[in-house]
Each structure stands twice: as structure tokens, then as C-alpha cells.
A and B are shown apart, each in its own frame.
Chain A
Amino acid sequence: QSVLTQPPSASGTPGQRVTISCSGSSSNIEINTVNWYQQLPGTAPKLLIYSNNERPSGVPDRFSGSKSGTSASLAISGLQSEDEADYYCAAWDDSLNGVVFGGGTKLTVL
């Protein structure tokens, strides 16, 4: 049972916009920033979004992040086949004194 809650799966067709939610609490998302990671099969995770809504250089602007209260979201617009991957949210938890990850969302491009 992960501290941050994500839907286990999401799907969309090419060109569509999909969102992935990440639900936390007052000790993590509400008071700390959220990162999002993309993990392609057999590879290390890649930072997709940091500080709630910032993109590292090289990440397409099709990816965007937002945060409100104890929840955060990752949006992917103009869905492409290469976006098929696992996506994870993460934040520092002040009660646990550690980083907490969501359980991950497997995105399927139909």
C-alpha cells in the first residue's frame, strides 16, 4: 500500500489528452513539491516533472504537472505511442521523514 495513491492504469488513443492523478495528504503533497517520473520497460526512471510543474530540458511541453491541496496531476497531451510507460509521482513526507512514491500508473496507448 503506497502512501501516494495513483490509478493502476490509464489509456488513450494517439493524439488524445490523458491525466494521471496522485493523491496524498497534509504531510506530503500539501506542503512539499511533487515530482513525476516516466519509466519505460527495462530502463531506469526518467524525471519528467519537478517542483509540481517544471519540465527538465528535453522533456516535451506535451507533459505538464499541477498540484492542488493534497493532490497532484500529470497531463499528457497529443498522446504518442512512445508515451506508453509506467508513471510515478513522488514527494517528501514530513511525518515519515522520507520520500514517498505512488504505486505507479501503467499508461497504454491504444
Chain B
Amino acid sequence: QVQLVESGGGVVQPGRSLRLSCAASGFTFSSYSMHWVRQAPGKGLEWVAVISYDESNKYYAGSVKGRFTISRDNSKNTLYLQMNSLRTEDTAVYYCAEGSGGSCPAGYWGQGTLVTVSS
């Protein structure tokens, strides 16, 4: 069955960096775009970034552009989010989601990994 498992979350100080990973299995990872979506505590969903199946296209939310980088390794079925210059407002649960059949996240999401930015 399809599984998306995020890892790499934790507590980090403002200004520092963190890299999240999302390990995919159960589907042809290299054929689908992939998204990162986050949710601050008690808040709604916020889209973060998307990467095309072949890494040729990457798009970011304005709030993270220039600080976050989305990438993937199709040989390892893994999606990444490099987060630099972290701010307290980046505190959230980060979900990865597959992007089959359209421009938005689709049917398979990970369970999320919590990133807490605090001094």
C-alpha cells in the first residue's frame, strides 16, 4: 500500500537550518509531482512547495521563497525540504503529499513531522 513517511522534524533555534525527508513507497514515486504542506498549531493548512516528477519545475509559497528548497531523489524514492533561516512562524507540522492528477495535493499524505522553531 501507499506510504509516505516524513522525518527530520524537531526543535531548532531561529536562524538555523533543518532538512525534512519524506520516504515514499507503494507507488511509482518518479512519476508524480510532490508537495509539502504545513499546519501551524491550531491553524489551517498552508501550502509550502511543489516539485515536478523530474525536478524540472519547483514552486514555492511567498512566505518561504528564498529560504526553503524542495528537492527529490527518485532513485531513493525520497522527497526533501531544506529549510534555512528558520523563523518562529515556521513552527508547524509539515506534511508531504503526492500530486497525482492535478495541481493540488492529492490522495496520499504522510502523517506529518513537527518542526518547532524556538530559542
18 contacts between A and B (CB under 8 A): A35-B105, A39-B45, A44-B110, A45-B37, A45-B105, A50-B104, A91-B104, A92-B102, A92-B104, A98-B50, A98-B61, A98-B62, A99-B47, A99-B104, A101-B44, A101-B46, A103-B44, A104-B44
Q: Which residues of A contact B59 (CB under 8 A)?
A: 97-98
List B94-108 residues whose CB lies under 8 Å from chain A. 95, 97, 101-107
B98, chain A: closest CB distance, angstroms: 10
List B8-37 residues whose CB lies under 8 Å from chain A. 35, 37
A1, chain B: closest CB distance, angstroms: 11
Q: Which residues of B contact A88 (CB under 8 A)?
A: 44-45
Size bracket, chain B contacts: 20 to 34
Prevailing SS type, chain B contact patch:
loop
Q: Which residues of A contact B95 (CB under 8 A)?
A: 44-45
CB pair A35 B110 closer than 8 Å: no
Q: Which residues of A contact B50 (CB under 8 A)?
A: 98-99
Interface string of A94-106 (1 = CB under 8 A from B): 0011111111100
User: In whole angstroms, what is the CA distance A56 to B59 when docked?
Assistant: 26
Known contacts A35-B102, A37-B105, A99-B105; can you find 13 more A-B pairs with CB under 8 A? A33-B102, A35-B105, A44-B111, A45-B97, A50-B102, A90-B45, A91-B103, A99-B104, A101-B44, A101-B45, A102-B44, A103-B44, A104-B44
Question: Is B53 among interface residues, defined by CB-CB distance under 8 A?
Answer: no
